[in-house]
A = this chain, B = another copy of it.
Amino acid sequence: MHLKIGELSKKTSCSVLTIRFYEKEGLIPEPERTEGNYRLYDIGYVERIKFILNCRTLNMSLNEIRQLLTYKDNPEKNCSDVNELIDLHVCAIKENIIKQQKLIEQLSDLRGTCDGLCTIDQCGVLKNLA
């Protein structure tokens, strides 16, 4: 069974443009071509793209995914690197959350300096931003 790019797109819910983009980025290998120069994918591609999409859903970067994919290509090796990558990814997100929580505090303080009923001229929010 071989699929044209549009068919692969439907099977994976990944847009045609994105599939070509992943190819250019080296996340999926270049597939065969028909005589008319159409890409022809075997079923392995479905799995690979779904894997990528699952990683993307978890907000991994394409670099992180590239790493994971190269790990997958060495099935006999130890998986500690995989877990380290995930741990680092989690750390980064946690730090991000903390940053944003601090932002919320600052913004709430700022917002508290105006009731929204005065003129721009006297607006505490704008004064505190200056």
Interface residues of A, Cβ cutoff 8 Å to B: 47, 50-51, 54-55, 58-59, 68, 71-72, 74-80, 82-84, 86-87, 89-90, 93-94, 96-97, 100-101, 103-104, 106-108, 110-111, 114, 116-123, 125-126, 129-130
Question: Which residue of B54, B79, B80, B118 is within 8 Å of A79 (Cβ)?
Answer: B118
Copies in the complex: 2
The residue of chain B having its C-beta at the shortest distance from the C-beta of A84 within the complex is B116
Is the CB–CB distance between A71 and B126 below 8 Å?
Answer: yes
CB distance from A107 to the nearest CB of B (A): 5
The distance in angstroms between the C-alpha atoms of A79 and B119, with both chains bound, is 5
Are the C-beta atoms of B116 and A83 separated by less than 8 Å? yes
Given contacts A94-B104, A104-B90, contact A120 B51 (CB under 8 A): no
Chain B nearest CB, measured from A78 CB (Å): 6
